[in-house]
Structures are given as C-alpha cells and as structure tokens.
Structure 1
Amino acid sequence: MRILQPLCHGITFAFTAAALLCAMPTAQAACVVPPAEHTIDPPGFYDDPAGYQQAVKPMRAYIDRLNKAAEAGDWACTIDLLEGWAQGDALMGPITGYQGYYERSWAGTDFALVRMRAQKLGRLDASRAAIIDNWLTRIAMATRDAQEINSLHNNLTYWAGLNLVAIGTVARRSDLVDDGVARVREGIRDIGPHGELQRELKRGNRALHYHTFALLPLVFAAELVRPRNINLYAENQHAIGRLADLVTRAVQDPDSFRAVSPIKQDLFPWTFQDELSWMEPYYASQHDSRLPTLIAARRAFHEWRLGGNVTQAWGVTLP
C-alpha cells in the first residue's frame, strides 16, 4: 500500500482502511453536473492558440471539477459527474479537424483513471458502472479507430494506447487492453540506444518537451498492465528506463539533452512540473534513487489527463 505521510496520499490498486478514511469527504459543496459537451472539435493547438483555448474550456472545466471531486474524496459527486456525461454521450459528436481526436483520447484516459479509483474504493455500484463503462468503451473504440491518431506513430499514438489500456482495464475489455498495449509497444520499440525518440527529435526546439510528454503514457500503461504479468519495462532492453534516464538527466541538467540534439530547447512552463508526473509511479516501482529529490521539490503533481492529483493516487513515501 502506498501512503504518504502526513498527507492522505497513496490510493493505488490496493486499499487499506486508512486509505478509505483519507478518501472520505468532509462537508461537500453541492454537486452540479454541467451539461454534457456533445463534441470536442477545437482548432489545432499550434494553429490557433486562442481559438483552441476557447474551444476546450467547457471540457477542461468539467475535467477540473471531476478531478477535484476525486481528490477531495467526494465520490458521490465524482460518480454523478461521470454518469451525467455518460448519459449525455459526451464528446462522441463528429470531429471535423484533427485536434479533437487527441482531446477525446486524453479526456477518456482521465475519466477511466478517476473511475478506477472510485471502483477500488467500493464507491461505484454495478448499474452505474455499466452506464459509465459503456460510454468509456465508445470513447476507446473511437480512439482505436481514429486514423488521425493511428497514422502518426508518435507520442499521440502512445497516449491512445494508454487510453485503450485504461478504459479496457476498468471496462474488463481485454481486446481494448491488447490494442492499447500494441500501441504502447510501438513507442517502446521507437526508443533508441540513448533513450531518444527519432520522431520527437524532429520537433526541433520542442524535442525535450515531447520526449517528456511521450514518456508519460508509456510509464502509466506499464503500471496498469503489471497485474496482467506484462512487464513493459523489460521490453526492447529496458527501453522505458533509457527514456526515463534521458529525461531525468535533462531535468537535472538541461544541457545534457545535447547528447541527442544540438538544438537549444524551449520548454513549456509545465514540462518540468506536472508533466513529470510519470516520476510518481516510476519511482514507486523502479526505485530510481535520483527521483526523490526531484519529486519532493514538485509535489503535488496534477495532470488533467491522468486523473488530477497523481501524487495522491500513485505516490509513495520518499526517503
């Protein structure tokens, strides 16, 4: 069991009475479920930044509400939010561009990880789970079949793999898990001898950011399939570890990334903050001795694609 002291952290796949107590809500505000967003179809993130931000705002507001409810242990509201959007078949409307496919994939992953925590805490009954899981399965199938993602063979394909693994796990759909693992394995095969990803190196001055972003779905997928006796960490001669090492060294010394790219790197403000969320589960299972210092300086990690408070859900006590 992973428990952080003195905070109530550590809800993962096994739960104790202490974790249940930590997850119990105190006084909760009224839960207002916003109308389901029928579709998500923003302009490209780089094509029209202002238009993009405006278009994703309603979905992001819902996800923020969902993740905060889970973080607060308000499971009644968490389930109401998921069921409300499930009944509205949210995000399943037509997409005319390409960015919407990525957004739906990321959102579905978040929904599945939140729903997973509710299930493990015994807060989700079978009838409501069925409603939510039918919706999540539709999201996963749409992600699986999206050629706008499948044709890329880059970090977005790996994120689609995590979407399928997460939803397949909660919905008990081994076929979706298998399809997700195949996409994740594509990412693992892409990792070179120095931890580099050739497709992400083509990003030029954003290559380090996209190596960090690509690592997230690989680590979380590896963790989710461990109960199935699938050791993704061992594949391609421990390739995930090579990528994790490349990113870790770059966090410690950004100039170290010059070993794989001579281009000066530009980072988003969140690149070396919440997009280092992978460090929580990775340290818990792989015990890289460099990570506690880096983790402690940044906790708590929050990532909207990964259920919100990643530290609470995945973290362990640091030495």
Structure 2
Amino acid sequence: MHNRIIQLLSAVSVTMLMGLGINHAVAACAVPEPLKSIDPVGFYDDPAAYAQAVKPMRDYIYRLNKAAESNQWTCVLTLLEGWARADSLLGPISGYQGYYERSWAGTDFALVLLRLPKEVGEANADQLRVITPWLTRIAIATRDADAINHLHNNLVYWAGLNLVAIGTLAHRQDLIDAGLARAREGIHDIGLHGELEREIKRGDRALHYHTFALIPLVFTAELAERQGVNLYQENHGAIGRLANLVIKAVQNPDSFAEITPVKQNLFPWTFQDELSWMEPYYARTRDSRLPGLIAPRRQFHEWRLGGNVTVAWGVALPQ
C-alpha cells in the first residue's frame, strides 16, 4: 500500500511538472549562485587552483552561451538578469588574474546580447534595464583596471573589445572611444611583418600570443565598422599583416621562425578555437587560404566571444 501511494504521488508530480512546462530546458535556465567576485590565482601560477576557482563562472558562461546558440533568448535574459541583480563579478580582486577574467566575461555577455533579436529586446526591455547598467559597470571597471592598462599587450586589446562591445550595447560613446584607443594601441604596435614585439618576448609561447592578440583586434574591428570606423586600414593594414603572419603559421608552423628562432610551444586550443577570428575575417576578406583552414575546425567555440562563433559570425564556405 505504501509503495502504491508513492507511485501515485510520483505520477501526480510528473503530471504537474509537465503541466507547468517544467523540463530539462527550463532546468538549464535556473540561475546559478551569483559570484560576487572572480579572484583566482594566476593561470601560470597554479593551474589546478586556477581551474577550480574559475569553474563556477565558466559553467555559468557555458550555460548562457548554449542558450544563445539555440536561440533560447528568454533563458539568456533570465540568466543575465539573475547575475545583474546580484551585481556579480564586481567585488574586490586581490590578485591580477581576476581583472582579466572579468573583462573576458563581460565581453562574452555583451556579444551574446548584441545578437538578441530586436523584437525580443523590445518585449523584454525591463530585463535589459537591469542587465545593461550592470554590464556598463563591468566595462568601467575594465577601463579603470591598472592591472590591465599597464601591460600594453594582448590583454589591453581584450579590454578594448570589452569596452567597444559593452559600449555598443549600452550606447555609451565614451566606452566605445576608450575601447578603440586600446585597439589602436595594438594596431600601432604591429610591425612590418605582422609581429608584436611584446608578444615575441613570450618566448616559446610567442606564436600562441600572436594568435590570442589577433582575436580581439578582429572582433573590435568588426564592431567598429558599425560606428563607421575602419580599423582594418589603420597602420597601413596592420591587422591584415598580423592575420597573414598567423595564417602562414597555421599552414606551416616553421614559418614563424622568421619572427623568432625560439621553438614554439602551442596550447591544444591555439590552432583550434582560438582561430575563431577566421570566421568574421573570412566573411569580410574572402581570403582564399581560409576555407581550407576553417572547414576541418568548424564549429568554432570560444567562451569569451559568445560561444559558437561559427553560428554567430560564419558564412558559407565554397564547395
């Protein structure tokens, strides 16, 4: 009799849940516990401790990006609003890595929302009035982060993308201008052969960091086009020179010896998802070398760029 009662209660519970539309997709939209601050140890200082510290934020971003990829915009807004109301990620940072992580996270959030269909945004304006000021505070924190600004390297370019993406979303010209200034710092530093002197100093990671530096420059250039600004032409087409350097290295890693004699050591993701810049770059330039490099790597996923970059930025490749 007891078992029969349990079975009946279970059946009623399932029926109620189905009637309420509670399913796996809804469960995936449950807002994780907001993180007041993101303050991990440095990526190179203690890799295991770093991975453990960033996991809650990365899990949240993964959930957000998957929702955007499948056009679950109600879920996207629910997730962002939950963390916005808690003023997440804006707590104190005692080290330095947290400044980078917060900048990357804010960039991802903004790039997701820049894909939000206009009619969805209009229908959910109240949620956006909560989310957008929060992202603006993240951008201001990035703009004012001395832990980033003094570096004058790829992390400054990533901060520039953060500022331009959030500034575009929030219609804040001051943030856009601050972001463009940081992108232009990177563009100005690109040498005659596409080299970046500060990234060459990374020794056996120089090629990786040239690739990593190129990502925010390309995506900032794409967003800048919406402002009528052509960053691709600046410093005599410098972004194109850096792109050419990386393309040649993907085709033949030994070609990077023209830049530095140090044998290069790549991360597994360097020539995989961190080539995601190729999607918008090919869409713009139709560089004939790129389809053969893009096709076997699709689809590109980059957690800093809204998730599935191929879906968001890619175009059809020639057969």
C-alpha distance in structure 2 between counterparts of 1:276 and 1:159, whole Å: 15
C-alpha distance in structure 1 between counterparts of 2:111 and 2:118, whole Å: 11
On the 8 A contact 2:121/2:128 being kept in 1, the answer is no
Mapped pair 1:166 → 2:165: yes
Residue aligned with 1:134, SS: helix
1:39 matched to which residue of 2? 37
* RCO higher in structure (CA 8 A, sep ≥6): 1
Which residue identity does 1:144 align to in structure 2?
R
Mapped pair 1:48 → 2:38: no
1:185-207 superposed Cα distances (whole Å, 9 cap, x missing partner): 00000000000000000000000
Question: Quick one: structure 1 residues 27 and 62, their matched pair in 2 at CA, closer, same or farther if it must change by over 3 Å?
Answer: closer
C-alpha distance in structure 1 between counterparts of 2:304 and 2:107, whole Å: 6
C-alpha distance in structure 1 between counterparts of 2:53 and 2:209, whole Å: 23
1:69-109 superposed Cα distances (whole Å, 9 cap, x missing partner): 11111111111001110011010000000000000000000
Structure 1: 5+ residue runs without aligned partners? 1-25
1:1-43 superposed Cα distances (whole Å, 9 cap, x missing partner): xxxxxxxxxxxxxxxxxxxxxxxxx983432111110000000
Aligned 1:1-319 pairs, distance under 5 A? 28-30=25-27, 31-120=29-118, 122-123=120-121, 125-319=124-318
Residue aligned with 1:249, SS: helix
**How much does 1:117 deviate?**
1.1
C-alpha distance in structure 1 between counterparts of 2:281 and 2:93, whole Å: 35
**How much does 1:54 deviate?**
0.7
Q: Which has more helix, going by share of residues?
A: 2
Which residue identity does 1:261 align to in structure 2?
T
Larger radius of gyration: 2
Give me the CA root mean square deviation.
1.2
1:92-143 superposed Cα distances (whole Å, 9 cap, x missing partner): 0000000000000000000000111124463452221111100000000000
C-alpha distance in structure 2 between counterparts of 1:287 and 1:200, whole Å: 27
**How much does 1:303 deviate?**
0.1
Question: Quick one: structure 1 residues 267 and 120, their matched pair in 2 at CA, closer, same or farther if it must change by over 3 Å?
Answer: farther
Residue aligned with 1:297, SS: helix
Which residue identity does 2:286 align to in structure 1?
H
Residue aligned with 2:274, SS: helix
C-alpha distance in structure 1 between counterparts of 2:129 and 2:260, whole Å: 48
C-alpha distance in structure 1 between counterparts of 2:55 and 2:163, whole Å: 24
215-224 or 72-81: which moved more? 72-81
Residue aligned with 1:289, SS: coil
C-alpha distance in structure 2 between counterparts of 1:191 and 1:215, whole Å: 10
Residue aligned with 2:114, SS: helix
C-alpha distance in structure 2 between counterparts of 1:116 and 1:79, whole Å: 12
Which residue identity does 2:25 align to in structure 1?
Q
C-alpha distance in structure 1 between counterparts of 2:85 and 2:272, whole Å: 35
1:297-316 superposed Cα distances (whole Å, 9 cap, x missing partner): 10000000000000000000
Percent same amino acid at aligned positions? 70
Structure 2: 5+ residue runs without aligned partners? 1-22
Ranges of 4+ aligned residues in structure 1 off by more than 6 Å: none
Residue aligned with 1:228, SS: coil
C-alpha distance in structure 2 between counterparts of 1:304 and 1:165, whole Å: 18
How high is the TM-score relative to the length of structure 2? 0.90
Which residue identity does 2:271 align to in structure 1?
F
Aligned residues: 294
